[in-house]
Structure 1
Amino acid sequence: MSHSDSQAIQTISTADNAPGNAPGKRKKLFTIFAGVVAVVAIGYGTYWYFIGSRYVTTDNAYTAVEISQVTPAVNGIVSEVNVVDTQYVHQGDVLVVIDSRDATLALAQAEADLGRAERRVQSYFANDTGFVAQVQAREAEQKRSAAQLLSAQADLQRAELDLRRREALEKSGSVSGEELTNARTTVLTMQANLKAAEAGKIQADANRNATVGAQKASTVLTANTTVDTNPEVVLARAKLEQAKLDLERTVLRAPVEGVIARRQVQVGQRVQAGTALLSVVPTRSMHVDANFKEGQLSQVHLGQPVTMKADIYGSAIEYHGTVVGVAGGTGSAFAVIPAQNATGNWIKVVQRLPVRISIDRKELAEKPLSVGLSMDVSIDTRGKSGSGSENTAMNSSAAKSPTL
């Protein structure tokens, strides 16, 4: 640089630092600063209006699902285990088989009991028919015995009258001693016949009453029923159906489509009814439980659209869903040892409320998720409710809930 150039630069610098130019420079700087603040304010206002006030987000969200636990309904020894952990199964696939021999024997016994009950009830109806004939026979016998009793009474009266006549004629000698003896013998015979007739009448009455009583007892067993509707047959048939059901339950099938998890059963193990054997995770029916701060939920309501990103796939993959439910209480409210805020020193802690969010089934099928994965969730509080019939079906009653 030449000496003349250095002098020119020094002259310009001296002119800029002159006292008369200082206020103009400050004014220029304040103008620039005010412009920057205005741009920032306008930018933040625009962001808040279009984005900040519209979306609520959280990274405190995790995938969840209604896990199906497989438990046996009958006791027995496990003969087959057809699945392992992480295996994918379809609804209806055979998972575990319990030895069915005991159930088969119980079924055969139930079938025999049903046959025996049907035959026993058929005999009741046959007895009813027989009792009608027996009662008629007993009533005829009762009538005959009554007639015989009347006849015996009449015969005795005639014999006694004949005896009194002969005794009256005995003094005059008109009747021989032999005739009188025969008359007396006839009276004794008629008295014996009367006693026999009375005993026969008593026996006939007893026989008729016994037969009628037996008929009533038999009628009670068959009253207002048929062989098929008789209580004994109905009970035996119910036990047969239960035996068939127990036999079917020796084969445990997948209740839903999903992935096997927590398998705790082995071949040869004796299991009791209700014992947890394994679980089926329906990965295609996944949802997200997002824990939002209480201050974020003032504009959140059911049916709003949601976008989600899973850490396992990164920000390149985006899932869509809707808000389908809000928990009835915060996590601390349902804790094993809930907070006792009414005692001791108190520090306010912002609470989080779980929000249930559905996931589009098509997107979930293309990019499967597992239970417990971390998610980033963003709810569009100005979006239209009801983004699909699938989400509505997941919580039809929740659609009637009021805005939070």
Structure 2
Amino acid sequence: MKTKNNYTNTDQLITKITAWIAGVIAVGLAVWGIISLVQLYNYEDTNDAQVEEYINPITSRVGGFIKEIKYEENQEVKKGDTLLIIDNSEYQLQQEEAEAALSNAQAQISVLESNVLTTSKVSQASQSQIASAKAKLVRQQQDYDRYSKLFKVESATQQQLENSKAALDVATSEYQAAQENYQASLSKVNDIRSQKGVYEAEIKRRKALLNRGKLEVSYTVIRAPYHGKMGRRTIQQGQQIQIGQTLAYIVNQEAGKWVIANFKETQIAKMRVNGTAEITADAFPGQTFKGAIVSLSPATGARFSLLPPDNSTGNFVKIVQRIPVKIKLTESKEVVDQLRAGMNVNVKISKD
């Protein structure tokens, strides 16, 4: 009889404990259910989200051999810091050649101006010869007129008249020649001056070539375009590179970080710009990051793919599409710096 009473007490104790445990579980499930319902009613969430950041390639604008590498993997750099130096020997020679060609073209202008001055003086001399030839012509004309009068009154011989006529013809020819020489000298001056435009155009071309040479020399020093952090290093000193070749990647820390959350099309009805968001990262369990909606994509993610689906083919199967939502992280820089581009995160957005 005593054993039966002991069994009964133990059984009652187990029953009470089981009841309490069941009650606690039931209460826990009820609380979890209520919280889930509240969350479902007030929030939209997704785990299809990642941290994004501008990651841009560093490319070369000239070809050559890498002379020096000034950065290491994962190194923080500031805008203007030297990353790479390319051997500039060939580009330096081209620049010097362009400088010499420009100096030669500028010297041609000086020679041209000197020729203009010389030819102008020759033209002035020709103008003086015209005056002299004209005076001689006037004198010979007077002599011829005098001999003509004397010949009519038989005071001069036929020979004297003919000699005077010949002298007059010579003076006339010399006067015409002097005028033609003067006109020719003026034309020559104009011809030389017209060449100045050609030389000035050549100087402009040479200056452009020199500036291009200087630009190419400057391209041999590759600098950081902004504050950022370098990615993986894949090049070595002495390696030959080509124009446009990607040499490194830099993470732009000036532009900040954001999250791209891909919500189902059935979830975005009440989402608005500047709506609040809560972000939790798999890398930092228990820590919540604040954010705000910046924009909603104008199309589904599938539409931006390389081969967007075409439902007009007849093989239509309705699949819930996802809309990318851009969320700006509003935490302080120190907090946001914990996150890295590509990290998986969970996003929860209020429906209010």
Give the alignment's TM-score, normalised by structure 2: 0.78
Partner of 1:155: 143
Secondary structure of 2:278's aligned partner: strand
SS at match of 1:342: helix
Structure 1 position 307, deviation (Å): 1.9
Partner residue of 1:289?
260
Instruction: Please tell me whether residue 64 in structure 1 is matched to residue 26 in structure 2.
Output: no
Cα pair distance change 1:334/1:144, threshold 3 Å: same
**Aligned pair 1:305/2:276, yes or no?**
yes
Give 2:345's aligned residue.
Answer: 375
Q: 1:5-404 maps to which residues of 2 (within 5 A)? A: 48=38, 51-166=39-154, 180=157, 183-184=158-159, 186-220=160-194, 231-282=201-252, 285-314=256-285, 316-360=286-330, 362-363=332-333, 367-382=337-352
Alignment-mate amino acid for residue 126 of structure 2? R
Q: Flag the structure with higher strand content.
A: 2
Pairwise CA distance, 1:101: 1.4
Cα deviation, 1:301-337, whole Å, max 9, x if unaligned, reads 22222221111222x2222222223323212112222
Are residues 370 and 157 of structure 1, via their aligned partners in 2, closer, same or farther at CA, if it must alter by over 3 Å? same
Q: Which has the larger radius of gyration?
A: 1
Amino acid at match of 2:48: N
* 3-state SS of paired residue (1:333): helix
Between the aligned partners of 2:105 and 2:292, the Cα distance in structure 1 is 59
Write the distance in 2 (CA, Å) between the matches of 1:147 and 1:56.
111
The worse-fitting range, judged by mean Cα deviation, of 282-291 and 91-100 is 282-291
Could you tell me how far apart the structure 2 residues matched to 1:164 and 1:355 are? 121
Secondary structure of the corresponding residue to residue 304 of structure 2? coil
What is the count of residue pairs matched by the alignment? 323
1:98 Cα deviation from its structure 2 partner? 0.6
Structure 2: distance between partners of 1:220 and 1:302: 67
Question: Deviations 1:40-59 (Å, cap 9, x if unpaired)?
Answer: 8xx969954xx544432211
Identity across aligned pairs (percent)?
A: 27
* Residue identity in the other structure for 2:218: E
Structure 2 counterpart of 1:308, which letter?
Answer: I
Shift of 1:291: 0.9
1:204 partner letter: A
* Aligned-residue RMSD, C-alpha: 3.3
Per-residue CA deviation, residues 181-237 of structure 1 (Å, 9 max, x unaligned), is: xx51x33433332333233233322322222223323444568xxx9xx54444433
Unaligned runs of 5+ in 1: 3-35, 167-174, 383-404
Q: Given that residues 71 and 83 in structure 2 are in contact (C-alpha distance below 8 angstroms), is that contact kept between their aligned partners in structure 1?
A: yes
- CA distance in 1: counterparts of 2:50 and 2:95, whole angstroms: 48
8 Å CA contact retained: 2:98, 2:210: yes
Shift, 1:155, TM fit: 2.9
- Partner SS for 1:332: helix
Indicate if the aligned counterparts of 1:110 and 1:239 stay in contact, CA closer than 8 A.
yes
Q: CA deviation at 1:376?
A: 0.8
Q: Structure 2 vs 1, CA of residues 132 and 363 (structure 1 numbering), >3 Å: closer, same or farther?
A: same
Preserved contact between residue 121 and residue 232 of structure 1 (Cα < 8 Å): no
Q: Which amino acid aligns with 2:45?
A: T
Query: Do 1:257 and 1:280's aligned partners in 2 also have CA atoms closer than 8 Å?
Result: no
TM-score by length of 1: 0.69
Q: CA deviation at 1:252?
A: 0.7
Contact 1:103–1:243 (CA<8 Å) still a contact in 2?
yes
Query: Within 1, Cα distance between the matches of 2:351 and 2:320?
Result: 21
| CA gap 1:151/1:283 in 2 versus in 1, 3 angstroms | same
* 5+ long unaligned stretches in structure 2: 3-25
Contact 2:289 2:331 in 1 (8 A): no
8 Å contact kept, 1:283–1:369: no
Q: Deviations over 1:330-359 (max 9, x none)?
A: 121122222110121322111111122222
Shift in CA distance, 319/364, structure 1 to aligned 2, threshold 3 Å = farther
Shift of 1:277: 1.3
Q: Is the 8 A contact 1:138 1:207 kept in 2?
A: yes
C-alpha separation in 2, matches of 1:190 and 1:365:
115
Counterpart AA for 1:159: Y
Cα distance change on mapping 1:165 and 1:103 into 2, 3 Å? same
Per the alignment, in what secondary structure is the counterpart of residue 106 of structure 1? helix
- The 1:145/1:299 distance shift into structure 2, 3 A limit, reads farther
- The structural deviation recorded for 1:374 is 0.7
- SS across alignment from 1:74: coil
Once the two structures are TM-superposed, the CA of residue 245 in structure 1 deviates from its matched residue by 2.2
Q: Which portions of structure 1, spanning 4 or more consecutive aligned residues, are displaced by more than 6 angstroms?
A: none
